[in-house]
Structure 1
Amino acid sequence: MLTLKDFQTARQNLASVIHTTSLERSSTFSQLSDNEVFLKMENLQKTGSFKIRGAYNKIATLSPEERKRGVIAASAGNHAQGVAYGAKRMGIPCTIVMPEGAPLTKVEATTGYGAKVVLHGPNYDAAYQYALQLQEANGMTFVHAFNDAAVIAGQGTISLEIMEQLPDVDVIVTPIGGGGLAAGVAMAAKLLKPDIQVIGVEASGAASMLASLRAGQVHTLEYVETIADGIQVKRPGDLTFDLVRQYVDDVVTVDDDQITKAILLLMERSKLVVEGAGAVGLAAVLDQKIAGKGKKVTVLLSGGNVDVNLLSKIIERGLVEAGRYLRLVTTVPDRPGVLLTMAKIFAEEKSNVISIHHHRMGERIVLGQAEVEVNLETRDRKHIQRILKRLGDAGFTYTIR
């Protein structure tokens, strides 16, 4: 059982290594949620996420013999960078097993810290099993991503900072993957302030902790899929499950569309780049999944390591979800003036035309007709509905893509 002293010792171990990240009130998100929303910016932490806290604290507790054998870990990316950074700082050999589909930026960053990276399997769970095989074969010390007391103690140092930065905080909202962050944050917070409420948030496509809580025991999901790769875990830890069950007040889920919307809003309104796993807490707040109004709510932005290619897709998806982007295809008579009629509607509705593609030939196009694909920048869903109504009134039939 962890004690407050364990969290305080972890903080001492980390004092010269990590940033004390900012906790800033967001007027925009406070207004949108009817609460006072404060953002804890672990996306600006060293290595780009909170994971360095638990990883470094674990490595700091290793014996000289364990350090000599080197360390190994499995990770979708953020824990990998934390372990690699800590191992390099202490001069310890380090091997990291990552899923084959891990974001390139996270792979490159991990190798940049001096770790040997092995890509294996489609997800974290497969990488984890292979890392265990390598650990057994080579005698290295395993640094678990979440199911370890020293790792949990390191993650809980976030709550020590929050309590100093905002002593009258009412609610802390934290992401949940394997449960190390949620367990550490919740336990440390409640040791300092027993009446505080802690809410955990999972991606609906990888809600293994919620499934375990409902089953009353650790449960393994058959399949997980979410853009929040940092919390895409089939099975939570045994230790983290017990701590989450004891200290986390509620666990809710958000879907990928809600996550993309939160990422986009953080970029637009707060000028912050946050990865999918880091944005789930804000997504839950904005979707009114946190009960009550007028509370001081701290939302933990757990990481900002997002692949640029994925980010472009997230932005496009977020724009579509928010009604800010419309792509439609229509078949029109192939005669002069038709495109002008369509363009006039777009101009009068003050929608910005990103592109228009006009095709006279194709399998679906009959003689005398043309297919027009239009990409529009729009203001919101009401704006889109107004444009579509005018197109329909003008005799255009269309398909939204």
Structure 2
Amino acid sequence: MIPIDNIYKAAEIIKKTVIRTPLVYSPTMSRIFGADIWLKLENLQKTGSFKIRGAAYKILTRKKEICPGGVVAASAGNHAQGVALAATNAGIKSTIVMPEWASISKQEATLSYGGKVVLAGQSIGESLKKAREIAEKGKTFIHPFDDLDIITGQGTIGLEILEDLKDADMLLVPIGGGGLISGTACAAKHLNPGIKIIGVQAAFCPSAYQSFLKGNISLVKSRLSIADGINVRQTGRLNFQIIKKYIDDIVLVKEEHIAAAILMLLERKKILAEGAGAVPLAALINRAVKIHPNTKIVLIISGGNVDSPLVGRIIQKGLLKNGRLMRVKLHLNDIPGSLSNLLSLIAGLKANILHIYHDRHIQDMALNMTYVELELETRGHDHINEIQESLNNSGYKSV
């Protein structure tokens, strides 16, 4: 759909603006999933995401056509930052419309790159509408994904991957509006026609998934997701044309698997990925993608702009999913030594006690009883089962 020469040209034009991000092999993940797993680390890109590629190419190649008022874009965060930085580097003013729920940290990052932030809309679609209205007053609109220049710029990721790993068998790519996957696919399928390209989308907003199944663009209802970067209710028109031609499959992942993927990347590779960037790994965790031994699979970790206040909640959700946290709620006899005996049992089972809540004043609880709630650090689901069995055998009954 997009000539490979155009993507090579884009790579040359933006090479001084973007970082050639590393493609790293993960022995641990390869062992866990039974294939050779590689990670394309776009979370290390300028602005923390791949979006700077398309934005920079668009602005640098269309600079003479941009209105005197500058550019305007709509985004929940990553496209916002990419456009703001690319415009500032080119000496152009930028206005970014962000949905009202956009995180404060992403608003502040966009401002720091020189963009003017306007909050409008409860969805990306509503923000896009507002951005188009602003464009009518003398600014050049830059679409986050449904634009050939944007798609071409994102395609440089595919070039880099296939230059570093010519015999890659499969790419797992986050998909929302479709800019990243359509650009990457155009490059990858040209350089390696046999490569499989799988899109991964959050189940809370399955727009590309539904469109792919039905064969036409579908507008879907969505729910707030920790993968907010791909929370797009409708896939782009240009993007979908490429998706139909080049994409082999699209799969869905649940919130709990996305959280588990963020945690695995953080613990095993010391990589901080945002929800959208972690969905390729989530697709391996929930077995949504069938893989074969000795195949080379590349996960595109598309961004790392996760909100600091959200990190703790995501980690805890991931720990619960992986059996690394356990909550125990019990009634104990309110006599000396009861709590000590319980804690000794827990210690003997090699569980680490993180929090204890102890309350004698629970409504409808017998006067000679006390309520205890424990949060334990555990090694996995087998360890949790061992603890629960020991508690039951010792006469402790969960509330």
Common fold, TM-score beyond 0.5?
Answer: yes
User: Which residue of structure 1 aligns with residue 272 of structure 2?
Assistant: 273
What's the counterpart of residue 346 of structure 1? 346
Equivalent residues in 2 for 1:83-98 (5 A)? 83-98=83-98
Q: Secondary structure at the match of 1:205?
A: coil
The equivalent of 1:214 in structure 2 is 213
**Aligned equivalents of 2:37, 2:396: Cα separation in 1:** 45
Whole-Å Cα distance in 2 between the matches of residues 333 and 236 of structure 1?
A: 59
How far does residue 63 in structure 1 lie from its aligned partner after superposition?
4.4
Deviation at 1:67, TM superposition (A): 4.4
1:156 corresponding residue in structure 2? 155
What is the CA-CA distance between 1:167 and the residue it aligns to? Answer: 1.0
Alpha-carbon distance between aligned partners in 1 of 2:398 and 2:182, rounded to the nearest angstrom = 50
Query: How has the CA–CA distance of structure 1 residues 85 and 364 changed in structure 2, closer, same or farther, with 3 Å as cutoff?
Result: farther
> In structure 1, how many angstroms separate the alpha carbons of the residues matched to 2:58 and 2:227?
25
CA distance 1:257–1:348, shift in 2 (3 Å): same
Q: Give the fraction of aligned pairs with identical amino acids, expressed as a percent.
A: 43
> Matches of residues 1-400 of structure 1 in structure 2 within 5 Å?
1-136=1-136, 138-291=137-290, 292-399=292-399
Structure 2: distance between partners of 1:283 and 1:223: 19
Give the 3-state SS of the residue equivalent to 1:305 in structure 2: coil
Q: Are the counterparts in 2 of residues 29 and 286 from structure 1 also a CA contact under 8 Å?
A: no
- In 2, the alpha carbon distance for the partners of 1:65 and 1:155 equals 21
In structure 2, how many angstroms separate the alpha carbons of the residues matched to 1:211 and 1:225?
18
Alignment check: 8 A CA contact 2:99 2:127 kept: yes
Report the Cα distance in structure 2 between the residues aligned to 1:202 and 1:159, rounded to whole angstroms: 19
TM-score (norm 1): 0.96
Q: Output one character per residue of 1:258-309: Cα deviation in whole Å (capped at 9) or x when no partner.
A: 1111111111110110111001111112333333221111110000000011
Amino acid at match of 2:130: Y
1:345–1:387 CA contact under 8 A, matched in 2: no
Following the alignment from structure 1 to structure 2, what is the Cα–Cα distance between the partners of residues 272 and 151? 26
State the alpha-carbon separation in 2 of the partners of residues 130 and 93 from structure 1: 18
Distance 1:183 1:321 in 2: 32
| Alpha-carbon distance in 2 for matches of 1:133, 1:369 | 65
Contact kept in structure 2, 1:21 and 1:45, CA below 8 Å: yes
Q: Which amino acid aligns with 2:272?
A: V
More moved, 105-114 vs 335-344: 335-344
User: Is contact 2:323–2:379 with CA below 8 Å preserved after alignment?
Assistant: yes
SS of 1:284's equivalent? Answer: helix
8 Å Cα contact 1:80-1:96 kept in structure 2: yes
8 A Cα contact 2:328 2:374, kept in partner: yes
Q: Counterpart of 2:66 in 1: which secondary structure?
A: helix
Further displaced range: 309-318 or 192-201: 192-201
Cα distance in 2 for partners of 1:124, 1:24 equals 33
CA–CA distance in structure 1, aligned partners of residues 197 and 117 of structure 2: 35
1:300 alignment partner, SS class: strand
Question: 3-state SS of the aligned residue for 2:155?
Answer: helix
CA distance in 2, matches of 1:115, 1:168: 40
Asked whether the equivalents of residues 222 and 231 of structure 2 are also in contact (C-alpha less than 8 Å), the reply is no
In structure 1, distance between residues paired with 2:240 and 2:349: 53
Q: Secondary structure at the match of 1:365?
A: coil
Q: State whether residues 99 and 123 of structure 1, in contact with CA within 8 Å, keep that contact through their aligned partners in structure 2.
A: yes
* 2:74–2:124 Cα contact (<8 Å) kept: yes
Change (3 A) 1:110 1:212: same
Mapped to 1, the partners of 2:112 and 2:97 lie a distance apart of: 15
Q: Give the Cα–Cα distance (whole angstroms) in 2 for the partners of residues 329 and 242 of structure 1.
A: 54
**Shift in Å, 1:322:** 0.7
Contact 1:103/1:306 (<8 A) preserved? no
Letter in 2 for 1:92: I
Unaligned runs of 5+ in 2: none
Residue 364 of structure 1 deviates from its aligned partner by: 4.8
Offset of residue 256 of structure 1: 1.0
Distance 2:158 2:196 in 1: 12
Aligned partner of 1:7: which letter? I
Aligned residues: 398
Cα distance change, pair 151–360 in 1 and its aligned pair in 2 (3 A) = same
Deviates more, 1:304-313 or 1:217-226: 217-226
1:173 CA drift (Å): 1.1
Give the C-alpha shift of residue 187 in structure 1: 1.1
Deviation at residue 244 of structure 1 after TM alignment: 0.7
SS at match of 2:102: coil
Residues 187-229 of structure 1, C-alpha deviation per residue, up to 9 Å, x if partnerless?
1111122111111111111110010112221100123332100
Runs (5+) with no aligned partner, structure 1: none
SS at match of 2:361: coil
Equivalent residue of 1:69, what SS? Answer: coil
TM normalised by structure 2 equals 0.97
